[in-house]
């Protein structure tokens, strides 16, 4: 069962061919980062225009690398939302055109379901499971008792983890996107600055990063006012420790409470070396719960993860039609 998948929700134009939801035949990603870098973040209108320029080439390249023809495909899948509406529309319209022209079923996929199912490209999923989703726009703990059923048991009340990384990076005058730069700096520094930890109410699986972000900004501002030297590496290490301590500890607590078989790591921030190492270490202490972490290329946005999630929707008969539209506010639980 071959699925052509398309992803254009933000600043990566991507197309992939995935076999049986777990085998990547091709996964082509054209990133726009170098262009958005100049503006310090993603400019939606620019993103849409670049997707228009790239989409056909990227799809053709994905088909070529996979060595398949349109008549070999079982379906076309596309990210329906959430994301930038103008960006989503490019992928959605490309997918609809291919579905119409070749008489193929069309499958709309939730972007976060894609990040979670990236793990299915690594190894078979076992339910019930818990997914820690940490990306540019989301920080969520998602409980899945079976395939295709998502229950959000905790989420951020303000910034997403990736957003906090990118804002703190900007304060440290690092280029966009800042996550990987903070990650690298953090390895060189010591976590000596006592930034706050947002534990929230007892038993809550929600997150909050805006207080931490403000604490870092204030720390830098105060140092500048007093003419004191700061160690950017120590700031990065201290910030990262605060983020990781909270998300890892809540993940472990939820994994025990919900008695899951697997914990999955998902989203762009899952590429973080410190997070991967700490989660691995803490999970080693738990018997009977398996940790699945995707390779770096499957953590950030890519179409293969959309193809993996689409396979389940195809199996479950959850098909779209030509009325499918980009939906920036698409709900994961009620899709
Ligand atoms: P969403 O998936 O929520 O819609 P998005 O698609 O924009 O948002 P992703 O592409 O999943 O987000 O992830 C991008 C984010 O991941 C950015 O904020 C980036 O800084 C962060 N990131 C990437 N690599 C790392 C890293 N090594 N450490 C920390 N953060 C990272
Ligand atoms: Mg991106
Ligand atoms: Fe994403």
CA–centroid distance, 210 to ligand 2, in Å, is 21
122 annotated to bind ligand = no
The confidence score (pLDDT) of residue 54 equals 98
Q: Do residues 245 and 197 lie in contact, with contact meaning Cβ atoms separated by under 8 Å?
A: yes
Strands 75-81 and 290-292: unpaired
CA–centroid distance, 10 to ligand 2, in Å, is 6
Low-confidence ranges of the chain (pLDDT < 70): none
The confidence score (pLDDT) of residue 159 equals 96
For ligand 1, whether the C-beta of 7 sits within 6 Å is: no
| Overall residue count recorded for the chain in this entry | 335
For ligand 1, whether the C-beta of 177 sits within 6 Å is: yes
Give 51-68 pLDDT, tens digit per residue: 999 999 999 999 999 999
pTM for the predicted model, two decimal places: 0.97
Task: List residues bridging with 132 in a β-sheet.
Answer: 141, 265
Q: Which residues of 227-253 are buried (b: 16+ CB within 10 A; e: fewer)?
A: eeeeebbbbbbbbbbbbbebbbebbbe
Extract the runs of DSSP E, i.e. beta strands, from 246-289. Answer: 262-266
- How many CB atoms within 10 Å of residue 100? 12
Q: Do residues 108 and 67 lie in contact, with contact meaning Cβ atoms separated by under 8 Å?
A: no
- Element (H or E) spanning 291, and its range? strand 290-292
Distances in Å between the Cα of 123 and the Cα atoms of 119, 191, 284, 305 are 6, 34, 18, 13
CA of 183, closest atom in ligand 1? 28
Q: How far apart are CA 265 and CA 39, in angstroms?
A: 30
For ligand 1, whether the C-beta of 294 sits within 6 Å is: no
CA–centroid distance, 140 to ligand 3, in Å, is 13
For ligand 1, whether the C-beta of 301 sits within 6 Å is: yes
- At 310, list the tokens: 């689409």
The confidence score (pLDDT) of residue 332 equals 97
Using DSSP's 3-state secondary structure scheme, residue 140 falls into: strand
| Site of tokens 């038993």 | 203
Instruction: Look at residues 80, 99, 101, 75 and name the one whose alpha carbon lies nearest to residue 90.
Output: 80
235 annotated to bind ligand = no
136 annotated to bind ligand = yes
The confidence score (pLDDT) of residue 106 equals 98
Q: How far apart are CA 100 and CA 78, in angstroms?
A: 14
């Amino acid at each position: 069962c071959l699925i052509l998948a398309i992803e254009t929700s933000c600043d990566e134009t991507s197309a992939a061919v995935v076999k049986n939801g777990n085998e990547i035949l091709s996964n082509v990603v054209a990133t726009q980062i170098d262009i958005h870098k100049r503006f310090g973040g993603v400019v939606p209108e620019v993103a849409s225009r670049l997707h228009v320029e790239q989409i056909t080439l990227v799809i053709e390249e994905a088909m070529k690398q996979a060595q398949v023809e349109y008549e070999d495909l079982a379906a076309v899948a596309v990210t329906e939302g959430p994301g930038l509406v103008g960006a989503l529309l490019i992928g959605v319209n490309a997918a609809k055109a291919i579905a119409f022209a070749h008489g193929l079923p069309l499958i709309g996929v939730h972007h976060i379901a894609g990040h979670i199912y990236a793990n299915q490209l690594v190894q078979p999923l076992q339910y019930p499971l818990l997914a820690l989703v940490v990306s540019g726009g989301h920080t969520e703990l998602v409980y899945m008792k079976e395939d295709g059923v998502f229950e959000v048991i905790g989420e951020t009340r303000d910034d997403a983890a990736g957003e906090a990384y990118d804002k703190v990076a900007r304060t440290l005058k690092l280029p966009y996107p800042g996550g990987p730069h903070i990650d690298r700096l953090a390895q060189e520094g010591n976590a000596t600055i006592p930034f706050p930890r947002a534990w929230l109410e007892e038993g809550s699986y929600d997150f909050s990063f805006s207080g931490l972000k403000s604490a870092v900004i204030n720390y830098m501002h105060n140092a500048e006012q007093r003419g004191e030297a700061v160690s950017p590496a120590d700031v990065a290490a201290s910030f990262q420790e605060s983020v990781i301590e909270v998300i890892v500890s809540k993940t472990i607590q939820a994994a025990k409470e919900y008695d899951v078989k697997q914990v999955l790591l998902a989203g762009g921030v899952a590429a973080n070396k410190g997070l991967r190492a700490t989660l691995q270490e803490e999970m080693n202490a738990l018997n009977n719960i398996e940790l699945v972490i995707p390779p770096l290329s499957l953590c950030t946005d890519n179409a293969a993860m959309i193809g993996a999630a689409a396979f389940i929707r195809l199996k479950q008969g959850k098909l779209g039609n030509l009325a499918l539209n980009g939906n920036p506010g698409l709900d994961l639980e009620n899709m």
